Amino acid sequence: MQRQRVALLVLLALLSGCGKMEKGSRPAEKPADRATSGEAAAALPADFPKDVPVLKGAMLKLAISQADKTIVHLQTTSSIADAAKYYDAELKNQGWRIESTTRSGDMYVVSARKGKTLCGVTITREAKGTLIRMAISQNHS
């Protein structure tokens, strides 16, 4: 857990000033809903892929876009198990090919590929609920 935090801090330090960063606690709705909801469009980066599922009711905590990479942090009251079931099903429903999954009592990690795009989702417990970290990298060989 400590290594993940250090890696995230290093990544944030590298990206600061070099990309677009949005912070807030606005709802992050499903990508399909973004076109009709001004709030959701403002919540997620404009270049956030429409085929990456977003857990309904999750609150946006962080969004960073730089070149072909996007990182999004969402907070939810859903359990890790419920969020993991959602991402397992919805990634497949959106045409993603699951490359790997890792499950433990307090963490779930899935890596999926669609064409040249990679999507990594990490779901962990945090003090006030569950944190969902998504990392999307486009044009990846």
pLDDT in tens, 7-20: 444 344 334 333 33
| DSSP annotation of 52 | S
- Find the mean pLDDT for residues 63-89: 93
Mean pLDDT of the chain: 77
59 neighbors 128 (Cβ within 8 angstroms) = no
Signed CA dihedral, 41, 42, 48, 53: sign only: negative
CATH architecture of 2-137: 3-Layer(aba) Sandwich (3.40)
pLDDT in tens, 85-127: 999 999 999 999 999 999 988 999 999 999 999 999 999 999 8
Give strand ranges (E) for the chain. 20-23, 59-66, 69-76, 97-104, 107-114, 117-126, 129-137
> How high is the pLDDT of residue 13?
39
Domains of the chain, residue spans: 2-137
Other Cβ atoms less than 10 A from the Cβ of 23: the count is: 11
> How high is the pLDDT of residue 6?
38
> How high is the pLDDT of residue 27?
47
Nearest to 88 by CA among 55, 49, 116: 55
Amino acid 115 reads G
Query: Is 0.75 surpassed by the pTM of this model?
Result: no
